[in-house]
Amino acid sequence: MIGPEAIRIALQGLLANRLRSALTMLGILIGVGAVIMLVAVGNGSSAAVQQQIQSLGTNRITIMRNFGGFGSGGRRSTNGTQSRSSNLTAADVTALSDKSVAPDIKSVSPVANVQSVTASWQGATYSPSQFVGTVPSYFEAADYQIAAGRLFTSQDEQSHARVVDLGQTVVANLFGTANPLGQFVKFNSTSFQVIGVLKSKGTNGVQDQDDVVLAPLSAVQDTLTGYTGTYDQITVEAVSSGSMTSATNEITSILDGTHKITNAANADFRVLNQATLLAASTSTSSVFTTLLGAVAAISLLVGGIGVMNIMLVTVTERTREIGIRKAIGARKIDILSQFLVESVLLTMIGGLLGVGAGIVGSQFKVVGIQPVIATYSIPLAFGVAVAVGLFFGIYPANRAAKLRPIEALRYE
- Does residue 411 interact with other proteins by CB under 8 A? no
Name the 3-class secondary structure at 408: helix
Phi, psi angle pair for 281, to nearest 5°: -70, -35
Q: Which of 79, 328, 368, 375 binds other proteins (CB under 8 A)?
A: 328
By the rule CB under 8 A, 334 interacts with other proteins: yes
Q: Which of 291, 327, 365, 376 binds other proteins (CB under 8 A)?
A: 327
Q: Give least dist CB 399 to other proteins, A.
A: 15
| Helices 332-361 and 274-317, axial angle in degrees (round to 10) | 140
> Given candidates 150, 260, 331, 365, which one binds other proteins under the rule CB under 8 A?
331
Asked if residue 36 lies in contact with residue 354, where contact means CB atoms within 8 angstroms, the answer is yes
- Only segment of 114-122, 138-146, 162-170, 319-327 that touches other proteins (CB under 8 A): 319-327
Told to check if 313 binds other proteins by CB under 8 A, we report: no
321 binds other proteins per the rule CB under 8 A: yes
Radius of gyration of the chain (CA): 34
Grouping H, G, I as helix, E, B as strand and the rest as coil, residue 49 is helix
Residues paired with residue 248 on neighbouring β-strands, in sequence order: none
Identify the DSSP state of 81: B
Give 208's strand partners: 203
Of 113-121, 174-182, 300-308, 315-323, the window that binds other proteins (rule: CB under 8 A) is 315-323
Largest CA distance in the chain: 104
Crossing angle for the helix pair 274-317 and 319-327, to the nearest 10 degrees: 70
The nearer residue to other proteins, 48 or 409, going by C-beta atoms, is 409
19 binds other proteins (CB under 8 A): no
Shortest gap between Cβ of 332 and other proteins (angstroms)? 6
Q: Is beta strand 88-89 parallel, antiparallel or unpaired with respect to 230-231?
A: antiparallel
Tell the smallest beta-carbon distance from residue 401 to other proteins (Å): 10
User: If binding is defined by CB under 8 A, does position 406 make contact with other proteins?
Assistant: yes
Neighbour tally for 203: CB within 10 Å = 12
Site string for other proteins, 97-116 (x = CB under 8 A): --------------------
Cα distances (Å, whole numbers) of residue 39 to 68, 285, 370: 43, 11, 12
> What part of residues 346-405 is at the interface with other proteins (CB under 8 A)?
405
Piece of the chain touching other proteins by CB under 8 A; list 154-162, 223-231, 329-337, 392-400: 329-337
Complex with other proteins: residue 12 or 118, whichever CB lies closer = 12
CB burial readout 283-311, b (16+ within 10 A) else e: eebeebbeebbeebbebbeebbebbbebb
Q: Which is nearer to other proteins, 16 or 291 (CB)?
A: 16
- Regarding 326 and contact with other proteins (CB under 8 A), the answer is yes
- Binding residues for other proteins, rule CB under 8 A, total 23
Binding residues for other proteins, rule: CB under 8 A, are 1-2, 5, 9, 12, 16, 320-321, 323-334, 405-406, 409
